[in-house]
Amino acid sequence: MAPKSLHLFLFVCSRANINMPVLRTLSKVAKQALLVSQGCGCQPLTVAVRNISFSPRQVTSDASFHSVSFSETDHPKVLITGGLGQLGVGLAKVLRKRFGNNNVILSDIRKPPSHVFHSGPFIYSDILDYKNLREIVVNNRITWLVHYSALLSAVGEANVPLARAVNITGLHNILDIAAEHGLRLFVPSTIGAFGPTSPRNPTPDLCIQRPRTIYGVSKVHAELMGEYYHHRYGLDFRCLRYPGIISADSQPGGGTTDYAVQIFHDAIKTGKFECNLRPDTRLPMMYIDDCLRATVEIMESPVDTLSMRTYNINAMSFTPEELAQEVMKQLPDLEVSYDVDQVRQAIADSWPMNFDDDNARRDWGWKHDYDLPELVQTMFNYIGSETRLAQVN
């Protein structure tokens, strides 16, 4: 056992909250293992660790991939962190339909609206509280973890220390808990994980990633750490880089692509829309149903179909001007003006214009359903019916 592994082993023990006497015994075993292995060139620690049924974080670096332990006929037990944001409630609905209501737990640090609270299991969970998170995973026998908690691009720039804590420290907690309990872990990444020096039209899976936002930096970190834990400890890490996601039934959470959601609400309510990006700003986008289906599909993909652990996925790519033109086919009197937010514009100008998702399409059959016309029609149907319902009540 290399000294580096010994340090890691001791670190893991301390993170795993193992009490002092046990920790001392374990470290003694590990140190002896180190001495023996240095003497004979063999690797006894693996045996020692397996004999005491310790955490999967002790799997040696050349370990082949380990799948989660539930059988294919069992349903996974899913925990979604940051579940009250734009995407979590929708994902819970899809997963509950598939695996049963009680097998999918939504969690967040905010108070859920009553319709969410009554739709299925909800639990308070702050991802910065390692012990609480661990307790939830253990007590509920969680097998899949979908990690949605994050501060998005624009709000992240407004509060860098908090973004760093939630997006980086929080992720470390998630990785350790997922590795320790053999969970299948999904962490979304984003078009924001690329930067001005990346090829932007189109952006492939593998290329230079030098983002200029704390959000982007934290997402590159998440991709790399997840892949590292996969190769080093056998963690079943799966990651999709989402484009800007557009949904009708939830409010966006402080991102640069928010304008593409806001336009529908404002158009229907006021007939006017003021856009905070320049009319020619091209970004990759996706309707939420495609995004959630992709997430379930990659989580269910057999291991041997995944040649990578982090994939781009894409559906469409448009500018505010093109979106407004499509919206005006439904609402010809819509008045659109532009008042550019410099922070958001600088972020958007450093992001991909088009996303190359050939690998996802080839490896696990990714295929989007919604292009721009279907997206606009669906958003109008949804928001229009909601508005009519509100007027009746």
Residues in the chain: 393
- CB 229, min distance to ligand THR, A: 22
The DSSP secondary-structure symbol of 63 reads: P
**Contacts to ligand THR from residues 339-378, by CB under 6 A:** none
- CB 83, min distance to ligand NAD, A: 7
Q: Does 87 bind ligand NAD (CB under 6 A)?
A: yes
Picked from ligand NAD, ligand THR, none, the partner binding residue 186 (CB below 5 to 8 A depending on kind) is none
The DSSP code sequence of 260-301 is HHHHHHHHHHHSEEEESS-TT--EEEEEHHHHHHHHHHHHHS
**Contacts to ligand NAD from residues 231-290, by CB under 6 A:** 242, 244-245, 253, 255, 257
Residues 192, 200: Cα–Cα separation, whole Å = 11
**Binding-site string for ligand THR from residue 256 to residue 295, where x marks contact by CB under 6 A and - marks none:** xx--------------------------------------
Residues 85, 305: Cα–Cα separation, whole Å = 30
The H-or-E segment that residue 241 falls in is strand 236-242
Q: Tokens standing for 348?
A: 């958007």
Annotated active-site residue 215? The verdict is yes
Which of residues 136 and 191 has its CB atom nearest to ligand THR in the complex? 191
Which residue minimizes CB distance to ligand NAD?
85
Q: Does 152 bind ligand THR (CB under 6 A)?
A: yes
Q: Does 86 bind ligand NAD (CB under 6 A)?
A: yes
Local structure of 205: helix, strand or coil: coil
Residues 156, 165: Cα–Cα separation, whole Å = 11
**Contacts to ligand THR from residues 185-214, by CB under 6 A:** 190-192
The H-or-E segment that residue 391 falls in is helix 372-392
Q: Does 240 bind ligand THR (CB under 6 A)?
A: no
- CB 47, min distance to ligand NAD, A: 38
Q: Tokens standing for 291?
A: 């995004």
Picked from ligand NAD, ligand THR, none, the partner binding residue 153 (CB below 5 to 8 A depending on kind) is ligand THR
Picked from ligand NAD, ligand THR, none, the partner binding residue 110 (CB below 5 to 8 A depending on kind) is ligand NAD
Picked from ligand THR, ligand NAD, none, the partner binding residue 234 (CB below 5 to 8 A depending on kind) is none
The H-or-E segment that residue 155 falls in is helix 153-158
**Contacts to ligand THR from residues 35-94, by CB under 6 A:** none
- At CB < 8 A and 24+ separation, what contacts does 117-122 make? 119/92, 119/93, 120/92, 120/96, 122/83
Residues 229, 55: Cα–Cα separation, whole Å = 13
**Residues 128, 169 contacting (CB under 8 angstroms):** yes
**Binding-site string for ligand NAD from residue 60 to residue 79, where x marks contact by CB under 6 A and - marks none:** --------------------
Please name the residue that has the structure tokens 């057999």: 302
Beta-carbon contacts of 226 under 8 Å, excluding residues fewer than 6 positions away, are 175, 185, 187, 235, 237, 239, 309, 310
User: Among the options 124, 130, 148, 215, which is catalytic?
Assistant: 215
End-to-end Cα separation, the chain, in angstroms: 69
- CB 318, min distance to ligand THR, A: 14
Picked from ligand THR, ligand NAD, none, the partner binding residue 128 (CB below 5 to 8 A depending on kind) is ligand NAD
Q: Does 255 bind ligand THR (CB under 6 A)?
A: yes
The contact set with ligand NAD (CB under 6 A) reads 81-82, 84-88, 108-110, 126-128, 148-150, 152, 166, 170, 188, 190, 242, 244-245, 253, 255, 257
The catalytic residues are 215
